[in-house]
């Protein structure tokens, strides 16, 4: 009985320390200053892409935009559409944003890409911007999307998600924003530094979609370009 009570006290102390640590981090997180942008910015979202390693590359993939190599993992079918929809819904929170119709944009992108097979992607996006009138084009890549195996409060395998999103000014081919999310959910006993995100998720094991939504909130905290 003594050992049991002692274990309870130790766990309570660890939990209190973690909560205090979380509050300390949140108190000192500075909000970015807003960037001046014109009203009614038109954004075209190119269909997100799941990057799957080619033969002989093991788990390595090459980002089509930056040409950097990334380590990838399993990607559930349809994951790219799930993350894209989360991103588009996030854009709708911003007052200045006008999202271009997807069907027309994808048709233009596919045609221009087919006509420019040997040209860099940024050149393709510049042409797409000229034809559609988009002020900004967004592209996204999924590197890993593994669904949890289990339930809200008990899992055999936690969700694991990794994706990257770029916003590009097509007129000068500049990358104006880049957001990266890469996380495998862990229990508090495994990683106390995840306590903030753990409680933002309701203190439960998240599905891959829920983890993706949490990640989108986190990366948009670092994007000061528009106002809600």
Q: Where are the domains of the chain?
A: 1-30, 34-220
Contact 112, 136 (CB under 8 A): no
Question: What does the pLDDT average to over 115-144?
Answer: 95
Tally of CB atoms within 10 A around 216: 19
The residue among 136, 131, 228 whose CA lies nearest residue 176 is 136
* pLDDT for 53 beyond 80: no
CATH code given to domain 34-220: 3.40.50.10610
Span of 6-15, 138-147, 191-200 with lowest mean pLDDT: 6-15
Is residue 65 pLDDT above 50, yes or no?
Answer: yes
Q: How confident is the model at residue 191 (pLDDT cuts 50, 70, 90)?
A: very low
Provide the mean pLDDT of the chain: 78
Number of H helices and E strands in the chain, helices first, is 6, 10
């Amino acid at each position: 009985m003594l050992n049991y009570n002692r274990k309870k006290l130790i766990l309570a102390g660890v939990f209190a320390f973690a909560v205090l640590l979380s509050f300390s981090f949140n108190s000192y997180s500075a909000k970015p200053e807003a960037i001046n942008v014109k009203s009614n910015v038109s954004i075209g979202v190119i269909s997100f892409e799941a990057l799957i390693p080619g033969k002989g590359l093991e788990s390595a993939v090459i980002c089509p935009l930056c040409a950097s190599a990334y380590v990838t993992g399993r990607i559930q079918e349809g994951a790219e559409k799930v993350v894209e929809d989360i991103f588009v819904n996030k854009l709708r929170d911003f007052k200045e944003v006008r999202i271009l119709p997807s069907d027309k944009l994808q048709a233009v992108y596919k045609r221009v890409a087919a006509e420019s097979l040997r040209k860099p992607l940024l050149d393709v996006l510049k042409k797409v911007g000229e034809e559609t009138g988009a002020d900004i084009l967004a592209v996204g890549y999924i590197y890993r999307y593994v669904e949890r195996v289990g339930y809200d409060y008990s899992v055999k395998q936690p969700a694991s998600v990794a994706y990257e999103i770029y916003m590009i000014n097509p007129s000068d081919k500049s990358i104006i924003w880049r957001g990266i999310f890469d996380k495998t959910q862990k229990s508090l006993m495994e990683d106390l530094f995840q306590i903030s995100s753990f409680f933002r998720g309701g203190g439960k094991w998240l599905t891959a979609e829920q983890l993706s939504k949490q990640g989108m909130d986190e990366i948009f905290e670092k994007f000061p370009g528009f106002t809600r």
